[in-house]
A and B are shown apart, each in its own frame.
Chain A
Amino acid sequence: MTPELLSLSNNWPLFLGSMIVKILAVFVVVILMVAYATWLERKLIGHMQTRLGPMRTGWHGLLQPIADGLKLFFKEDIIPSQASKVPFILAPMMILVPAFITMAVVPFGPDLVINNFIIPQQITDLNVGMLYVLAMAGLGIYGIVLAGWASNNKWSLLGGIRSSAQMVSYELAAGLAIVAVFMLSETLSLREIVALQMKPLWGFITFLPNWYIFSQPLAFCLFVVTSLAEINRTPFDMPEAESELVSGFCTEYSSMKYALFFMAEYANMIIISALISTLFLGGWSGPFPGFINILIKTVGFVMFFMWVRATYPRVRYDQLMFMGWKVFLPLALANIVVTGLVVVLLQ
C-alpha cells in the first residue's frame, strides 16, 4: 500500500494531533526566535560598534530577553483618555497576528511517513501559498494605521500614514519581484517551489542546486530590499523615525501593547527571512537533516538585516518613495518581461 497524504477525511485523530503538534512547534520556535532576535540584535550591533552589548543578565546577557519581557509585562498599561479605545487595543493584535499566521505556509522539512500516511512538515500546503503570504502582508497595514490614528497624537498619525504609504508602494514592487519566480516554478505552493529547487541547476549543472537566486538574481535583490521596507526596518524605518516622530505610531503605547509591536517587528523580520530562504535559497533542502537548514538560512538573513541596520543611515522620505515607484517597480516589471521572454524562448 502506497502511503497517502494525511487529511481530515482519512484519519482525523492523527491529522488533528499532528496539526496541533506542528502548530505548537512552529509557534514556540518563532516566539523563542523573536525573543532571542532582540538579544542577537543588541549583541551584534554592540560588537559592530565596538561595545559588548548586554552582559549583566546571565552569561553574556542571555537572560536579557526574559528580563525585558518581565519588565514590560509588569509596567503600567496606559490608554490615553482621548484615544479611541477599541482600535487602540486592537491595533497591536492586528499587527502581530498576520505576522505569525504567515508562518503556516512555510515548509520546514521533508515529508514524514507515519502509519502509511504522508505528513508534510509544514502546517498547511496551500495551493495559493505565496498569494496567502502577500494577502497577510497587506493586512499588516491595519495595525500600524489604526495604532497611529487611535492614539490621537500627531506623531502617531504621521507615523501611521507614512508607514501605510510606504507599505502600499513596496508591497507592489515585492509582489511583482516574486512574480518572476512563479513564472519559472509555475506553481504558487511553497512546498512545490522547494521541491523544484532541489533539482540540479537548469537541469544540467549537477553540482549546484536549482535555487532561484541563480536564475533570478535581480528578483532576489529586489525582494530583499523591498521586504526590508515592507517590515519597516532600517534604512526604511520611516514610521518610527525617532529623530522626527518621537516613536511614530507606537508613541502612546506602553507595557505589553508596546511589547506586541516590538515582537511583531522581529516576527516579521524572521518570517520574511524564512520566506526569502524558501523562495530563493531552496528552503529546507541542504546538507543538514530536517529543519536545521532553513533555520540556518533564516538566522543568516536576520543577521544580514541587523548588519544593514548597523551600516546604513535612514533614507529620506521622498527618496524612499522615489526608489519605490521609479526604481524598484520598473526594475521588477522589466524583470518579468525578460523572464517571460526567456521562458517562452526555452519552451
Chain B
Amino acid sequence: MELLFFYLVALVAVLSGFLVITCKSPINSAISLVMTFFCLAIFYVMLHAPFMAAIQIMVYAGAIIVLIIFVIMLLNLGTAEKARTTHSLAWGSVVGALMMLLAMTFIKGGDTTSVQGEITNEMVAQVGHTELIGQAMFTNFLLPFEIASILLLVAIVGAVVLTKREV
C-alpha cells in the first residue's frame, strides 16, 4: 500500500520535475517546481519527518518560489527562445549521470542506509521529530544556530538599507 503510494508520488515528482525544465513560460516552470517540492514534502512525511515536510512547504513552496514568481512577474520575462542546446544537454547529462552514480553508491553501501548515532527510529517515534530537532538545535548546535540568525539579521538590515532612499 505504502509502496504503491510512493510510486504514485514519485511519478508525479519526476513528471513535474521534467515540466520544470521543459516548460517554455518561466511561470509554468515555477508552478511545476512548487509541485515537485510538494512531492518532496510528501516523501518527508513518509520517512516520518513531518517537521521537515512542513518546513519544506513553508520555506521552499511558500517563500522562495513566491519570490521567484515575483521576479518573473515584475521583470516580465517572456518565454524562452530556442538557444543552443546541444552543449547544455551534453553537460547536463554528464552531471546528471554523476549525481545518479553518487546517489546509487550511497544507497548501496553508504551511511544513509544504516542509522547511526543515538537518534534512532524508535526515539523519533517516542520523543517526536519536532522535539528532537528543537533539542538538538538549542543545546548541541546553539552556536551555529545563533550565527545563522545573525547572518539573517545582517541580510534583513542590508535589504532595508539598500531599498531606503534616504537614511
B27 touches A132 (CB 8 A): no
Least CB separation from A175: chain B residue: B58
- Report the bound CA distance from A132 to B52 in whole Å: 11
Within 8 A of B (CB), among A162-203: 164, 168, 188
- Contact partner of A134 among B28, B31, B58, CB < 8 A? B58
- CB within 8 Å for A142 and B51 given contacts A8-B1, A12-B1, A149-B73: no
User: Inside 8 A of A168's CB, which chain B residues have their CB?
Assistant: 66
B130 touches A135 (CB 8 A): no
Please give the residue numbers on chain B whose beta carbons come within 8 Å of chain A beta carbons, in ascending order: 1-2, 25, 27-28, 31, 34, 50-51, 53-55, 57-58, 61-63, 66, 69-70, 73, 128-130
Extra contacts, 12 of them, besides A135-B58, A138-B63, A139-B57 (Cβ < 8 A), are: A126-B50, A127-B128, A128-B50, A128-B51, A131-B54, A138-B57, A138-B61, A141-B66, A142-B66, A149-B73, A157-B73, A161-B73
Say whether chain A's binding surface is mostly helix, strand, loop, or mixed. helix
User: Inside 8 A of B54's CB, which chain A residues have their CB?
Assistant: 128, 131-132, 134-135
* Least distance between B104 CB and chain A CB atoms (Å): 30
- Report the bound CA distance from A141 to B57 in whole Å: 13
Q: Please choose the segment from A59-67, A84-92, A303-311 that sits at the chain B interface, where 4 or more of its residues have CB less than 8 A away.
A: A84-92
- Report the bound CA distance from A149 to B2 in whole Å: 39
User: Inside 8 A of B63's CB, which chain A residues have their CB?
Assistant: 138
- Report the bound CA distance from A135 to B51 in whole Å: 11
- Report the bound CA distance from A66 to B61 in whole Å: 35
The yes or no answer to A145 lying at the interface (CB within 8 A) is: yes
- Report the bound CA distance from A267 to B59 in whole Å: 24
The yes or no answer to A146 lying at the interface (CB within 8 A) is: yes
User: Inside 8 A of B50's CB, which chain A residues have their CB?
Assistant: 126-128, 132
Within 8 A of B (CB), among A143-167: 145-146, 149-150, 157, 161, 164
B2 touches A8 (CB 8 A): yes
User: Inside 8 A of A142's CB, which chain B residues have their CB?
Assistant: 31, 34, 66, 69
User: Inside 8 A of B51's CB, which chain A residues have their CB?
Assistant: 127-128, 131
B62 touches A141 (CB 8 A): yes
16 A-B pairs with C-beta separation under 8 A: A12-B1, A84-B25, A87-B31, A127-B129, A127-B130, A128-B53, A128-B130, A135-B54, A138-B58, A138-B61, A138-B63, A141-B62, A142-B34, A142-B66, A145-B70, A149-B27
User: Inside 8 A of B25's CB, which chain A residues have their CB?
Assistant: 84, 86
Most interface-central of B55, B58, B69, B130 (chain A CB within 10 A): B58
User: Inside 8 A of B57's CB, which chain A residues have their CB?
Assistant: 132, 135-136, 138-139
A145 touches B73 (CB 8 A): yes
- Report the bound CA distance from A12 to B4 in whole Å: 14
User: Inside 8 A of B28's CB, which chain A residues have their CB?
Assistant: 86-87
- Report the bound CA distance from A136 to B58 in whole Å: 8
User: Inside 8 A of A149's CB, which chain B residues have their CB?
Assistant: 27, 69, 73
User: Inside 8 A of B55's CB, which chain A residues have their CB?
Assistant: 131
* Least distance between A49 CB and chain B CB atoms (Å): 38
B130 touches A188 (CB 8 A): yes
User: Inside 8 A of B62's CB, which chain A residues have their CB?
Assistant: 135, 138-139, 141
Least CB separation from A12: chain B residue: B1
Within 8 A of B (CB), among A62-112: 84, 86-87, 90
User: Inside 8 A of A136's CB, which chain B residues have their CB?
Assistant: 57
Least CB separation from B79: chain A residue: A84
B58 touches A146 (CB 8 A): no
User: Inside 8 A of B1's CB, which chain A residues have their CB?
Assistant: 8, 12
Most interface-central of B2, B70, B129 (chain A CB within 10 A): B70
A146 touches B27 (CB 8 A): yes
- Report the bound CA distance from A131 to B53 in whole Å: 10
Least CB separation from B72: chain A residue: A149
* Least distance between A208 CB and chain B CB atoms (Å): 29
- Report the bound CA distance from A134 to B69 in whole Å: 20
Within 8 A of B (CB), among A14-70: none
- Report the bound CA distance from A336 to B28 in whole Å: 40
Least CB separation from A182: chain B residue: B130
* Least distance between B144 CB and chain A CB atoms (Å): 22
User: Inside 8 A of A84's CB, which chain B residues have their CB?
Assistant: 25, 27
- CB within 8 Å for A90 and B58 given contacts A84-B25, A127-B50, A145-B69: no
Least CB separation from B48: chain A residue: A127
* Least distance between A102 CB and chain B CB atoms (Å): 12
Most interface-central of B2, B27, B62, B129 (chain A CB within 10 A): B62
- CB within 8 Å for A131 and B58 given contacts A8-B1, A8-B2, A145-B73: yes
